[in-house]
Each structure stands twice: as structure tokens, then as C-alpha cells.
Structure 1
Amino acid sequence: MEFFDVIEKRYSMRGFEDKEVEQEKLDKILKAAQIAPTGVNFQPFKVIVIDTKKYKEELNAIYPPEWFTQAPIALCVVASKERAWTRKFDGKNIADIDATIVMTHMILAAEDLGLNTCFIAAFKPDEAKKFLALDDEWEPVLFTPLGYGNAEPRDTPRKAIEELVIYKD
């Protein structure tokens, strides 16, 4: 699939078939995470692959919509502020940015492979941290279900390009 086809076709899937994800496809998606760019290439992240059937109850405590655990896999990107690059001018730590880039790579790779996903940031972080057994260094940043979708896209109109882009004179 061409890149612009991938980004124009992709939408947040909120319904999944009861169909397993092939290991070969999962491996490619995880490779997309590995090669994602991060600040100074510090790679301050980990990807946690979760079997939703095995951990349905725990995952629904983190994020309750039923469709979240319909997919066979949930992915979580966790980040370490200790291991991330920090901008020296103002102390901005980019662990969240790095984690978001990683998740974006995986989500676009999934789309290219015929799988569906949904960015999830509206989860309960304390529940996620407990379930994932993370120490204080690691913070859960984003989740996504990963599987074969079966729901139609919602209407998500976009603002006009003129509202989003500023050309500096």
C-alpha cells in the first residue's frame, strides 16, 4: 500500500472480529516500533504485548469499552523519563513524544498489513501501572487494540488546511 493510501484509509477501529493476528504480522509491527525515531536515538520505551483473552478483566479495568478487548492483542507503549532525552534550554523531557512516535509507527504498520487499531490515552494510569507491574521508572503512555476490525468509521470531519497551517512570513 502506498503511504498516503495508508494514512487516508486508517481510522480508529472500535469493533473487532474474533480472529487471531498472525505472528509474522505482529513481528513486522514490532519491527516498526524498533526502528521508530526517538530523541538522540535513546529509545526510552518498551512495547508490551498483551493477550486480551487471558487478561480481559484486567484490561477492562484499565479501559472499559467492550471493543477494547475484542481484538486478540492489546499493545501498550511505556516510556522512561530517566532514559529519554531532555531539551537543555527548558528542561522539556520528550519521553511521551518518543512513545507516541513509536505507537504511530506501529499503528501505521498495522494498517499497511490489513490490521486495525485505535489510539487509547483515556485509560486509568494507576490501574495500568499495577497490571503491567511497572516500577516508578516506567509510565504507560498509550494503548491500542490490535486485530481485524469489523466496525464502520465514525464521522470525523477535519478542519480546513487553512485553519491548521501557518506560513511564517
Structure 2
Amino acid sequence: MHFKELMRSRYAVRAYHENKVDQTLIKQVANAGRLAPSAANHQPWKFIAIDNEDLLNKIRGAYPREWFQKVPNLIVVYGNHAESWKRSFDGKDHCDIDVALAIDHMTLAATELGLGTCWVCHFNPEIVNGALQPEKGWEPIAIVAIGYPVEIKAPEKKRKSIDEVLSFNKW
């Protein structure tokens, strides 16, 4: 798929068919995240793919929305602030930025594979950590819902105009 078409096709899917996504496809999606750039190439991320129904149900409890309870697969994306690059001038931590880049790569790869995704940040991290028992220092940054979308066609994107977000040589 041409990149411009891919960008237009990706949207936050909130209705999925019940079919599980094959682990081979999940691995391709995660690999796209692995290949994302990160500050100073620190790669402070881990991707935990969830397709086990008991574990899915536990993690679904972290975000009690009706549509989320029916998602067939999840990828929990963790970041580690101790492993991420910090800007020397002010200590700005780039962990969340790096993880966001990885997730963006994953959502675009999933779209190219005919899968739908929804990037979820509003969840209870204690429930997620209780289910997955991560190593010390790892924070769940986001959950990526992934599956076969009921609707194939992306809705019209509502975005600011380019003139509202871009200027040259001045604020």
C-alpha cells in the first residue's frame, strides 16, 4: 500500500470480528515497532502480545468499555524510563516519545496487513501489571487493541488544516 493511502486508511477501530489474529501477523506488527527509531537508539520498549482468553479478560478489566471487551488480541506496550535517553540540557526523558513512535509503526503495519488497531492510553495500569507481572522499572504506556475490523473503510479524518499547524521561520 502506498504510504499516503496507508495514512488515510488507518483509524481507531472499535468494532472487531471475533477471529483471533495469527501469531505470525502479530509478530510482523511487533517487528514494525521494533524497527521504529528511538532517541540515541536506546529502544526502551517491550511488546507483550496477548491472545490467551483468561489473560485478555484480566487486561480488559483495566479499560471497562463495551467495545474493548470484545477485542480478540491486545499488545501491551511497556516503556522503561531507566533505559531511555535523556536530553543533557534539561533531562527531558524520551521514553514516551520512543514508545509512541513504535506504536505508530505497529498501527501502520497492522493496517497494511488488513488489521485494525486502537491505541488505548486510558486504562488502569495496576490491573495490567497485576495480570502481566512485569520486571521492575517497566511501565505500561499503552495498550494496542488489534484484530480484524468490522468496518473496512476509514471514516473521514477530522484534522486541522496545514496552515493551522505549520509555519515557516516564525511562530
- Per the normalisation by structure 1, the TM-score is 0.92
User: Is the 1:119–1:142 Cα contact (8 Å) retained in structure 2?
Assistant: yes
- Relative to structure 1, the CA distance from residue 23 to residue 129 in structure 2 (aligned partners, 3 Å threshold; closer, same or farther) is closer
Please show how residues 5-84 of structure 1 align to structure 2 within 5 Å. 5-51=5-51, 53-84=53-84
Shift of 1:41: 0.9
Q: Which residue of 2 aligns with 1:165?
A: 166
Q: Distance in 1 between matches of 2:59 and 2:130?
A: 11
Deviation (angstroms), 1:137: 0.4
State the 1:123 CA deviation. Answer: 0.9
- Residue 3 of structure 2 corresponds to 3
- What is the aligned length? 169
Q: Structure 1 CA distance, aligned partners of 2:69 and 2:112? A: 22
Gaps spanning 5+ residues in structure 2: where? none
Cα offset, 1:134, TM superposition: 2.3
Q: Give distance in 1, aligned partners of 2:167 and 2:53.
A: 46
Match of 2:89 in 1: 89
Which moved further from structure 2: 5-14 or 45-54?
Answer: 45-54
Q: Percent identity?
A: 33
Q: How far apart in 1 are the matches of 2:130 and 2:96?
A: 19
CA distance in 2, matches of 1:92, 1:27: 31
Runs (5+) with no aligned partner, structure 1: none
The 2-side partners of 1:110 and 1:28 are apart by: 8
- Tell me, in whole angstroms, the C-alpha distance in 2 between the residues paired with 1:133 and 1:24: 24
What do you get for the CA RMSD once the two structures are aligned? 1.7
Question: 2:43 is matched by which residue type in structure 1?
Answer: Q
Indicate the SS of the match to 2:50: strand
Tell me, yes or no, if structure 1 residue 144 matches structure 2 residue 144.
yes
